[in-house]
Structure 1
């Protein structure tokens, strides 16, 4: 394959930026944390996001001839068992994420067409049906291959970045031009209060910035991957970190936490654009419609990446016989079409079951969703552990950011501690929200034990797959 057909630097930057950055994360945490969100995003970026992205860049450069992303980075250092645990947890968490997010596209489209959310009340019942249709359409696009849908990410990502920069510039210039800040900044509300409520919210911030790993599954499609992939990851990381930190300042200048709290959080990202436009004497409805159109395109691109990338990570490089053959069959360009449609079918079932009134099955899926809540944390703990072993062995990668192992190990252990603390902190909301001791115990088991239970379910699936293969004579298992 010629270099002309491969992914370039900026396409890869946008493939990382689009599924990772979300303007809604800024507005929602402006409500949860107020001005304290600003130093919180800064701490998360410096102590977690940058180190994690650097680890990904180094491990990816050492495995540039493989397309498994997260799986191959872990497997190459600490073996297939840990690679399976990390990637299966990642896949499961993403599966339940997909179930929830497809409804956001009709809402964004409504803002783009009408300048308002028409799915708030009487039309809300349409969202599950629209979500099913969207899941099928986006899965089909994902099956066409990364070189095609990456163009959508490239287009949408650049416009999203531009829209975010314009918002920040106009908010800050407006403030210095005389528009008073909508939020009063004081030492009391800007310096985080390190209590349980803050710790729970801060923990989720850690995983809001994670996402640099999604582009790793496309490294074989990258032009000059040894240099291009690490550079793209670091550029995207800088863009995302700056957007979150300075974007939080800009949102605070435009709208107070109290104003945003009055809006449904899914509407807050649009409302701040409307307020900013009106502060400048511009038609707020038109500005919101333009932003919503950009956001719709970007959301479509982001969800396609989240549909496709975890499938590659889970099924592209696993040993033969781990899963049924149809899940690991690849087309010529490496796309796992049958696995994508299997995922789509499962997501559609999860969306459709509540509509059918099948209470027992619905309760089962809700239980699985509860069990998967913190599964997203496991892959990063395992990945950081793999990187620490990678450095302890003195392995040399084509791309190395840290000049000394001491610096690399320091940041790796900080990220590891934050990941583990984040695991327990992110579950506090579920536990503290319990009304009785019994409810608290059940929440603890489901929240903190859930990822372990789902990992065991993954092993059960592989066990029966290997057993079936052994009986059919497709492969010979080693004891």
Structure 2
């Protein structure tokens, strides 16, 4: 068994790299401007902090388990419920891995050339190499990931700090692109369109806070988990929440929502820094530096997500749930076959979108959209599992709240807001439902289809 080597700072950096995304700042800012900072605050208080407290309590209770969110839901709801939650988790995240892999060449292009001028074929080739590098690191250095994530986490924090300090300075000297007043933070709901926009933004803000659960798959490797796990989860939650809020204010100093609306999802990350460089008169070197740092950050995020996904899905499920070769660990306790399987799937997805033609690409992106809602089911399940966990009388070393009423509040907040996000991420209340039938079928019909596939897999009796 591996010695427990991950310290408090190491786990904080793992969580930070896995959760924090600058693109979440840019893409919410361009929808409703600085009002999104208020929504980030509300999301942090009502959703992210309660979820972090729940994870901290579960982690301190199940400190020797490797399944993370699967183990926590199984403790509170049983194996059947946990299976469908973790199946949904796998479906949503297996499409996220190739997304991360293709971002690495994009950021590398910014480093080399100062822009994202890279062909689809080179993108696919370099993304494939990225997947192989991530696979190698995951298999060979899985027990030492904190040695990789800690320095890269510091780099990520430093780059974020540069952005925040620069924005604050522009406001101080009166050169900010957007004026900030108290009215800037007021969420405006003057008509149905604005209300729909706010609900949609709030739903996607909750998506931005997703990912903290990856820490649960490393709890068995942490020094003094009964205290360090709790401190790491809560510390990372506070850092991420503050960065999201102040990030919105800083981005307003560099450009208007209209300017950012012209930028694509992937390029939004570098574009924010490019706008900053333009304001301060930095040359092309600044964009290249940011491109280099985000190449490193995204590569490490890919490794962390790959390892965490394999451990969450395949490490603790009952025998015969999946084929034995997927759940088999090597002599070092690493799910080598599961990591290879995830890498192959990610590679196939990239090949389909690059070389399969327009029809194949369109089909893949439809399937990708269909998987989106599956991302929320594990969090909904976690909130319910926590309430049942506390009702059963189980006592963890750390308790988020001593009272049962407090436990009901925490669990209900996470579960209820997951449902809110599940609804309003896919439905625009400012438009007639009849005009959204295709989208509704895509999102919610896709979710039901994936759950049905999960049911079919569950009733198959795989031989050991």
TM bracket, shorter-chain basis: over 0.9
Distance in 1 (alpha carbons) for counterparts of 2:29 and 2:176: 14
Matches within 5 A, 1:48-87: 48-87=47-86
Per-residue CA deviation, residues 421-454 of structure 1 (Å, 9 max, x unaligned), is 110011126x9899x94x7334323311322321
What SS does structure 1 have at the residue aligned with 2:179?
coil
- Matched-pair contact (CA < 8 Å) for 2:379–2:414: no
Sort the Cα spacing of 1:186 and 1:69 in 2 relative to 1 into closer, same or farther, 3 A: same
Matches within 5 A, 1:82-231: 82-119=81-118, 123-176=119-172, 178-185=173-180, 190-194=185-189, 195-231=195-231
1:393 Cα deviation after fit: 2.5
Distance in 2 (alpha carbons) for counterparts of 1:96 and 1:272: 25
What SS does structure 2 have at the residue aligned with 1:32?
helix
- Matched-pair contact (CA < 8 Å) for 1:37–1:248: yes
Alignment match, 1:477: none
1:364 Cα deviation after fit: 5.3
Per-residue CA deviation, residues 81-111 of structure 1 (Å, 9 max, x unaligned), is 1110111101110011123232111111121
Matches within 5 A, 1:36-55: 36-55=35-54
Out of 449, 453, 459, the residue aligned to residue 453 of structure 1 is 449
What SS does structure 2 have at the residue aligned with 1:266?
coil
Distance in 2 (alpha carbons) for counterparts of 1:314 and 1:274: 39
Alignment match, 2:26: 27
Sort the Cα spacing of 1:442 and 1:260 in 2 relative to 1 into closer, same or farther, 3 A: closer
Matches within 5 A, 1:293-332: 293-332=292-331
Distance in 1 (alpha carbons) for counterparts of 2:277 and 2:350: 37
- Matched-pair contact (CA < 8 Å) for 2:23–2:266: yes
Distance in 1 (alpha carbons) for counterparts of 2:262 and 2:362: 31
What SS does structure 2 have at the residue aligned with 1:183?
coil
- Matched-pair contact (CA < 8 Å) for 1:273–1:288: yes
Alignment match, 2:276: 276
Sort the Cα spacing of 1:86 and 1:163 in 2 relative to 1 into closer, same or farther, 3 A: same
- Matched-pair contact (CA < 8 Å) for 1:27–1:251: yes
CA RMSD of aligned residues (A): 2.3
1:60 Cα deviation after fit: 1.2
What SS does structure 2 have at the residue aligned with 1:117?
coil
Sort the Cα spacing of 1:117 and 1:350 in 2 relative to 1 into closer, same or farther, 3 A: closer
- Matched-pair contact (CA < 8 Å) for 1:34–1:190: no
Alignment match, 2:396: 397
Distance in 1 (alpha carbons) for counterparts of 2:235 and 2:82: 27
Distance in 1 (alpha carbons) for counterparts of 2:411 and 2:273: 38
Distance in 2 (alpha carbons) for counterparts of 1:116 and 1:367: 28
1:19 Cα deviation after fit: 1.1
1:363 Cα deviation after fit: 6.0
Per-residue CA deviation, residues 4-25 of structure 1 (Å, 9 max, x unaligned), is x611111111111101001121
1:140 Cα deviation after fit: 2.1
Sort the Cα spacing of 1:99 and 1:78 in 2 relative to 1 into closer, same or farther, 3 A: same
Out of 418, 431, 439, the residue aligned to residue 443 of structure 1 is 439
Distance in 1 (alpha carbons) for counterparts of 2:255 and 2:362: 39
TM-score with structure 1 setting the length: 0.90
Sort the Cα spacing of 1:265 and 1:373 in 2 relative to 1 into closer, same or farther, 3 A: closer
Alignment match, 2:192: none
Sort the Cα spacing of 1:442 and 1:247 in 2 relative to 1 into closer, same or farther, 3 A: closer
1:276 Cα deviation after fit: 2.8
Sort the Cα spacing of 1:112 and 1:359 in 2 relative to 1 into closer, same or farther, 3 A: closer
Distance in 2 (alpha carbons) for counterparts of 1:263 and 1:458: 37
Sort the Cα spacing of 1:337 and 1:118 in 2 relative to 1 into closer, same or farther, 3 A: same
1:367 Cα deviation after fit: 4.4
Sort the Cα spacing of 1:442 and 1:6 in 2 relative to 1 into closer, same or farther, 3 A: same
What SS does structure 1 have at the residue aligned with 2:374?
coil
- Matched-pair contact (CA < 8 Å) for 1:183–1:257: no
Distance in 1 (alpha carbons) for counterparts of 2:239 and 2:227: 19
TM-score with structure 2 setting the length: 0.92
Sort the Cα spacing of 1:36 and 1:162 in 2 relative to 1 into closer, same or farther, 3 A: same
1:188 Cα deviation after fit: 6.0
- Matched-pair contact (CA < 8 Å) for 2:87–2:313: yes
Unpaired segments of 5 or more residues in structure 1? 475-479
- Matched-pair contact (CA < 8 Å) for 1:53–1:212: yes
Unpaired segments of 5 or more residues in structure 2? 190-194
Sort the Cα spacing of 1:268 and 1:358 in 2 relative to 1 into closer, same or farther, 3 A: closer
- Matched-pair contact (CA < 8 Å) for 1:92–1:375: yes
Per-residue CA deviation, residues 10-46 of structure 1 (Å, 9 max, x unaligned), is 1111111101001121112111121111101111111
